[in-house]
Amino acid sequence: MPRVSVMGHPVHPILQAIPSAVLPASTVFDVLARVSESDEEGFSKAAHYTLVFGLAGAAGAAATGILDYYEIENRPVRRVALYHGLANVALISCYTACLVRRRRSKRADNKGLVLSSLGASLIGLSGYLGGELVYEHGVRVGEDADGIPGAA
């Protein structure tokens, strides 16, 4: 499968910044809506829109991450990438369940808040595993456009 790059840079690490930042912000807005006495509706709306935007960004990050996964030939490294992907599937599932629960009411209920918090925690795990792929194993580091390591 082709590697997805823009101007010589892999796209997956660029796109992952969106859900990594915006989805936990959704969790924070839900907490603020819960503890705020003055602007509950504003925080709930912010949580909803950041949740939708974060899930849309996660779709792009997931698509490019899957393409990168199939380029990994080393079995132990591929296993780390699999765990990274599974953590992402779990966190996207948590946030998607939050969105579904939110459709019934405009604010997060207790279960939605727990799911959102779990999703935010899984972003940390996923980021750790992604960092291991890059910093420990050099996945997509120092390659030219043809995927040749050290040629960039």
Two structure tokens written together for 137: 């194993």
Q: What is the tens place of the pLDDT at every residue in 61-86?
A: 999 999 999 989 999 999 999 999 99
**In sequence order, what are the beta bridge partners of 149?**
143
Nearest partner of 48 among 102, 94, 110, judged by Cα = 102
pLDDT reading at 118 higher than 90: yes
pTM, full prediction: 0.86
Q: What is the mean pLDDT of residues 84-100?
A: 96
β-strands 5-6, 9-10: how paired?
antiparallel
> Counting beta carbons within 10 angstroms of the beta carbon of residue 36, is it exposed (0 to 12), middle (13 to 18) or buried (19 or more)?
middle
Q: What is the mean pLDDT of residues 90-110?
A: 89
For the chain, what is the mean pLDDT?
Answer: 89
DSSP state of 143: B
pLDDT reading at 37 higher than 80: no
pLDDT for 4: 77
How far apart are the C-alpha atoms of 80 and 78, rounded to whole Å?
5
